[in-house]
A and B are shown apart, each in its own frame.
Chain A
């Protein structure tokens, strides 16, 4: 399973941008980069995913390095509700044996201060 490396924790102030990094130096050409987050006392929720190009949605932006060995999840204006554990996950949808399963690492605990 392709491995990702994330900082254990990060902090931000409310209404400031947050850049959450993820390293995935062994990423393969068919691996998609997915981000999920888990709010306290809830199940994980999907945030965003991409393959090569930067992606934007209503929750966040995903910036992918040109060599795809790293990526950054960007929360443009952090709110208290964004305090959660953020997981960076690689998914290879071409590999039948790994479809339907997500490999969660330890993720990054994001603390947002008012």
Chain B
């Protein structure tokens, strides 16, 4: 069974641009959660999608948004990028909302 895949793996953007990151969950998994990891703040929850609906949202500004498609694939978007958005963005999928989460390798975003 293929694991969680995230594309792209690396991304370099400049301040003010926007970016879209993609996550393909494990086949059969319907819940997708997103996390941001930085050296200063550690791993922080961004949002969770289940059955194409956002179920939970972390404490991030509205510039961070996401969506989930009918095949459970998910995308997250960050608009008007700031230097502080440089981070590793991790996606995790699970069969159900409370089940163990399987993480992808992450997308390393660098904002210049």
Range class of the A interface residue count = 20 to 34
Name the contact of B33 in the complex, choosing from A45, A46, A93, A100 (C-beta under 8 A).
A100
Interface residues of A in 64-114 (CB under 8 A from B): 87, 91, 93, 97-107
Residue pairs across A and B with CB atoms within 8 Å: the count is: 60
Range class of the B interface residue count = 20 to 34
Are A100 and B103 closer than 8 Å at their CB atoms? Answer: no
Main SS at interface, chain A: loop
Are A99 and B43 closer than 8 Å at their CB atoms? Answer: no
Which residues does A use to contact B, with CB under 8 Å?
A: 34, 36, 42-46, 49, 87, 91, 93, 97-107
5 contacts between A and B (CB under 8 A): A44-B103, A87-B43, A93-B98, A102-B101, A104-B35
